[in-house]
Amino acid sequence: MKVRSWLATCSTTNCISTADYYTTAPLPPENPAPKHLFSDTSTSSTSSTSQTTTTISSLESNLSLQTLPSVPSLQTKLSSETLNFAVTHHHLTFLNHRQVINSLSLHRHLLYAVSGNHVHVYDATTYALLDTFNAHDSSSGSVKSVTFSNTHVFTAHQDSKIRVWHLTPTKRHKLVATLPTLEDRFRRLILPKNYVHVRRHKKRLWIEHNDAVSGLALTGGDFMCSVSWDKYMKIWRTSDFRCVESVKAHDDAINAVVVGKDSTIYTASADRRIKVWGRPVGEKRHGLIATLEKHKSAVNALALNGDGSVLFSGACDRSILVWEREDSANHMVVSGALRGHSKAILCLTNVCDLLFSGSADKTVRVWQRGHEGKYCCLSVLDGHEKPVRSLVAIEDRTAAAGGGVKVFSGSFDGEIRVWQVVVSSLSGGYSADLSKWK
């Protein structure tokens, strides 16, 4: 059975196998600043839906593209022994499901594991299954992303909708709304200006996504951002579940979104670009701050460091690009690349100054920043039999676990592996901060 590509990346037009030996594909034409902004008083615009389809097997066979020789490497060749620290990792356990693990999230000591249209909820310490929801609604298609706001859980779906669940004290989940809500639709049905063209002879309300919702992220305060394969980014008010803003953000499917502590939004797309969005003081709508262009293929994953000053991006070109905020500018510039994976980067997460990257090469790599902005690959976690699709990590300083970071990795074959990664100084003691190595 053919499925819509969750990467929207590895079609034959964009993917170049290793046999082509770093053949460079041309970049798409320069994209002007977006003009199609919607708010409660906005006018109509147009959009189109990407029709790329592929099979899971073709994704696995094509997830390897040209590298980025023009971007300098940030990796140091020093070993952990030379740097006076030791890295140990243990495989704690694994959880098995029938379908691809599309997303892993942590909230209030609970692990949310998305497999197909099911959302499984585990105790993040004992790994006991506490709840499974959305299991009886196969019409929603697969779940793509999960985010949280207090006792509300938001899930993004293949059917272009967002569903809102209430987390009860007994760790059960009850559906309370589907976005856009019926009330929000009825408010806008009459006026023609509230409709946009989604394809020839077909219109939809601007508050509706027209393709799979691929990512969700809270933007601070009372708002949430959603991105979709329909190329649009939308802003929702979480207090009443209304859509308050919509912008055509990219020229191709949007694959990932992250939000900084200052509410700056970063979106990554199959158009090979990362875009930076912000809302100026006193303004009601988000505007484009910068467009980051260095990847030679579709961008699949984004992650921010703890203070939001460093952005990491992973793509089918097998490289992780490191972007750092310039003192003289309000946006990021590329500082270099991390290389080591032999196939596409599919997921990234950052915790305790450690960057974890999951790849189609079936491994998870652990990276640490050190002296003068250089990075060291501390360890490679292998054991998955299929590409690693999702990652989430949390600091774990419990004595029983030995401290360090607990990492959850999910793969194409439905397996979730749990790892304990401990970085310690040879002089003794747990040390998540190794910035002193020289």
Paired tokens of 99? 């379908």
d(C-alpha 344, C-alpha 108), whole Å: 31
Contact partners, residue 413, CB within 8 Å, separation at least 6: 100, 384, 385, 386
State residue 402's pLDDT score: 57
pLDDT digits (tens, 9 = 90+) for 349-373: 999 889 999 999 999 999 998 877 8
Q: Report the alpha-carbon distance of residue 8 to residue 300 in Å, rounded.
A: 9
Considering the domain boundaries, does residue 25 fall inside one?
Answer: no
pLDDT in tens, 213-239: 999 999 988 999 999 999 999 999 999
- Whether the per-residue pLDDT at 423 is higher than 90: the answer is no
Count of H-run helices and E-run strands, the chain: 2, 33
pTM for the structure as a whole = 0.82
Mind listing the pLDDT tens digit for each residue in 311-339? 999 999 999 999 998 876 667 899 999 99
pLDDT in tens, 295-304: 999 999 999 9
Q: Looking at the predicted structure, is the pLDDT value of residue 185 above 70?
A: yes
Q: 156 in a domain, yes or no?
A: yes
- Please provide the DSSP assignment of 70-129 as one string: TSPB-B----TTTTTEEEEEEEEEEEE-SS-EEEEEEETTEEEEEETTEEEEEETTT--E
What are the phi and psi torsion angles at 319 (to 5°)?
-110, 150
- How many whole angstroms from its chain centre is CA 246? 20
Q: How far is CA 395 from CA 113, 237, 238, 432, in A?
A: 18, 30, 28, 9
Confidence band for 157, pLDDT divided at 50, 70 and 90:
very high
Q: Is residue 345 part of a domain?
A: no
Q: What is the pLDDT of residues 375-402, one digit of tens each?
A: 999 999 999 999 999 999 999 876 455 5
Q: Are 52 and 46 in contact (CB under 8 A)?
A: no
The strands making up 173-179's β-sheet, listed across from edge to edge, are 143-149, 152-157, 162-167, 173-179
Output phi, psi for 359, to 5 deg.
-140, 165
User: Domain with 404 in it: what CATH number?
Assistant: 2.130.10.10
Q: Where are the alpha helices (DSSP H) in 153-256?
A: 182-188
Computed over every residue of the chain, the mean pLDDT equals: 81
The pLDDT tens digits of the residues spanning 121-150 come to 999 999 999 999 998 777 888 999 999 998
pLDDT at 63 over 50: no
Domain that holds residue 276: 34-50+76-298+350-370+380-425
Angle at the Cα of 184 from the Cα atoms of 179 and 186, rounded to 5 degrees: 125
Residue 4 within a domain: no
**Residue 337 covered by a domain:** no
In this model, does residue 25 exceed pLDDT 50?
A: no
The contacts of residue 142 (CB under 8 Å, 6+ apart) are 99, 100, 102, 114, 116, 117, 157, 158
Distance CA 214, CA 225 (A): 11
For residue 325, the model assigns a pLDDT of 86
Q: Is the residue at 102 inside a domain?
A: yes
And the tokens for 145? 């992303």
| pLDDT band (50, 70, 90) for residue 83 | low
pLDDT band at residue 99 using 50, 70 and 90 as cut-offs:
confident
In this structure, the chain runs to a length of 438
When pLDDT is cut at 50, 70 and 90, the band that residue 438 belongs to is very low
Q: For residue 280, what are its two tokens? A: 């100026």
State the total domains in the chain: 1
